[in-house]
Amino acid sequence: MGGYGLFSRKKAKRAAVLCYHGVTRRSPNELREVPNSFLHIPVHLFEAQIRFIEKFFNPITLDLLVDAMEGKSLLPDRSVLVTFDDGYKSVHQLAKPILEKYSIKPSVFVTAPGGSALEMMWPDRVFCYFQKLGQKDRDIYQTIEGMKELGNEQRKAALEEILQKTSVSLDSLPEECRIMSEEDVRDLSKSGFDIGSHSSTHPILSKMSADEQSEEIAQSKVRLEKITGKPVEAFAYPNGRVQDFNEDTVRILKEKGYRTAFTTVEGYSSPDSDPYRLRRFFVMGNLPTYEFCHRMTMSWPSKYRVV
Ligand SMILES: [Zn+2]
How many A from CA of 240 to the centre of ligand 1?
8
- Rounded to the nearest angstrom, the distance between the alpha carbon of 196 and the centre of ligand 1 is 12
What is the widest separation between alpha-carbon atoms in the chain? 64
Kindly list the structural domains of the chain, giving each domain's residue range(s) and its CATH number in brackets, ordered by start. Answer: 2-86+103-120+168-299 (3.20.20.370), 121-167 (no CATH)
Distance 105 CA to ligand 1 centre (A): 20
Q: What residues form DSSP beta bridges with 136?
A: none
Report the distance separating Cα 200 and Cα 203, nearest Å.
8
Cα(307) to centroid(ligand 1), Å: 40
Q: Are strands 79-86 and 15-20 parallel, antiparallel or unpaired?
A: parallel
How much distance in Å is there from the Cα of 72 to the middle of ligand 1? 30
Please give the distance, rounded to the nearest whole angstrom, from the Cα atom of residue 133 to the centre of ligand 1: 25
Distance from the CA of 232 to the center of ligand 1, in angstroms?
Answer: 17
Distance 64 CA to ligand 1 centre (A): 23
Residue 173 is predicted with a pLDDT of 76
User: What is the tens place of the pLDDT at every residue in 107-166?
Assistant: 999 998 755 444 678 888 888 888 888 889 899 999 999 998 888 889 889 888 887 877
Q: What is the distance in A from the centroid of ligand 1 to the CA of 97?
A: 23
Cβ atoms 99, 93 nearer than 8 A: no
Q: How far is the CA of 78 from the centre of ligand 1 (A)?
A: 26
Give the Cα separation of 136 and 138 in Å (integer).
Answer: 5
Q: Which of 193, 221, 217, 213 is nearest to 152 (CA)?
A: 213
17 phi/psi in degrees, rounded to 5: -100, 120
CA of residue 301 to ligand 1 center, whole Å: 27
CA 180, 181, 185, 187 torsion-angle sign: negative
Quote the ligand 1 centre to 7 CA distance (angstroms). Answer: 33
Distance 238 CA to ligand 1 centre (A): 5
Residues in the chain: 307
Give residue 163 CA to ligand 1 midpoint distance, Å: 20
Q: How far is the CA of 201 from the centre of ligand 1 (A)?
A: 10
- The residues, any chain, with a CB within 8 Å of residue 228's CB and separated by 6 or more, are 185, 186, 189, 195
The DSSP line for 169-210 is -GGGS-GGGPBPPHHHHHHHHHTT-EEEE--SS---GGGS-H
Return the pLDDT at 299: 67
CB–CB of 83/280 below 8 Å?
yes
Q: pLDDT at position 302, please?
A: 43
| pLDDT value at residue 300 | 57
The residues, any chain, with a CB within 8 Å of residue 100's CB and separated by 6 or more, are 191
Give me ligand 1 centre to Cα 204, in Å: 10
> In which residue ranges of the chain is pLDDT below 50?
1-12, 116-118, 302-307
> What is the CA angle 34-118-28, rounded to 5?
15
Enumerate the β-bridge partners of residue 197: 110, 235
Angle between helices 152-165 and 122-132 (to 10 degrees): 50
Q: Give 269's DSSP letter.
A: B
